[in-house]
Amino acid sequence: MLNQGGIVRSTSQRNEKPWTREEFREQLIDVGRNSYHDKHPFHVAMHEGVLSKKQIKGWVANRYYYQKCVPIKDAIIMSKLPSREFRREWIQRIIDHDGNQEEQGGIEAWVKLGEAVGLSREEILREDHVVPAVRFSVDAYVTFAREKPWIDAVASSLTELFSPILISERIKILERLYPWIDSSGLGYFRNRLTQAPRDTDFALKVVLDYCQTREEQQRAVNALQFKCDVLWAQLDAIEKAYPN
Ligand SMILES: O=C(O)c1cc(C(=O)O)c2c(n1)C(=O)C(=O)c1cc(C(=O)O)[nH]c1-2
């Protein structure tokens, strides 16, 4: 299944007039409108309540690999940020996932979600169910952060502009249509509802401020499209691995 991304990927916009701040913001939003993973058939099926227990378990077990790698990519981005003010903002993302003395963090919360859907902690942590294409797509995201300029990596995180609507819907759907999931396991998603908007407020401002030429703006749009493709590819792989 292909996503609907119709974004022009050319980077030869040198002579074109920059978009206004508002136009640029709209271009970024358009990427999500066309190709965010809420439109993937696997997510659509989840929200229709028709996924089997095996499919939900497969999704949670595979997405563990994404959760585990997000703070690694954030540490890479942090190492490249141009100022301590920026690092001070970005470091919160790593703490959110890895936790600290007070909070267990998002990765632990994801493991709890895994247990709530019937996986054992050990099989999650050993990545027993992670399929190759999920691993490849997540690794591509980490590599993108490593190899591209920091502003591209920041732009690629902007898929989180679109996640709160999807996640708040998902919480209600999982509670209502998958009652066999222990709802205490949904804490991960509840936390994201405040973490994601805080993260994107900062990331969006930085991208809008830093990308001034049309070429820079187009690079940011392309980075966001790339990230949508990363998320889409994960679901393609999960859908294939768990057809029913
Ligand atoms: O459940 C989702 O649909 C979803 C989407 C995304 C996203 O849009 O990238 C993230 C998350 N969840 C998430 O939990 C998360 O921690 C996260 C970090 C990032 C990122 O790119 O830095 N995206 C996302």
Residue 14 in domain = no
CA 4 to chain centre: 18
The predicted pLDDT at position 233 comes to 98
Q: Is the CB of 157 under 6 A from ligand 1?
A: yes
Ligand 1 atom at shortest distance from the alpha carbon of 37: 3
Ligand 1 atom at shortest distance from the alpha carbon of 96: 16
Residue 66 in domain = yes
Residue 22 in domain = no
Ligand 1 atom at shortest distance from the alpha carbon of 156: 21
The predicted pLDDT at position 6 comes to 46
Residue 1 in domain = no
Residue with tokens 């965010």: 36
Q: Token pair of 48, please?
A: 């229709």
Residue 185 in domain = yes
CA distances (Å), origin 16, targets 13, 20, 117, 155, 222: 5, 12, 51, 20, 16
Closest residue CA from atom 14 of ligand 1: 192
> Which structural domain, as residue segments, surrounds residue 217?
28-241
Residue 21 in domain = no
Closest residue CA from atom 4 of ligand 1: 163
State the helix-helix crossing angle for 84-98 and 106-116, rounded to 10 degrees.
20
Q: Is the CB of 70 under 6 A from ligand 1?
A: yes
Q: Is the CB of 223 under 6 A from ligand 1?
A: no
- ipTM of this predicted structure: 0.93
CATH number, position 35: 1.20.910.10
Taking the centre of ligand 1 as the mean of its atom positions, its distance from the CA of residue 212, in whole angstroms, is: 26
Residue 88 in domain = yes
Helices (H), 81-162: 84-98, 106-116, 121-125, 132-147, 150-156
Residue 120 in domain = yes
State the 10-residue block means of pLDDT for the chain, 244 residues long: 50 79 98 97 98 98 98 98 97 96 94 97 98 98 98 98 96 96 94 93 97 97 98 98 97
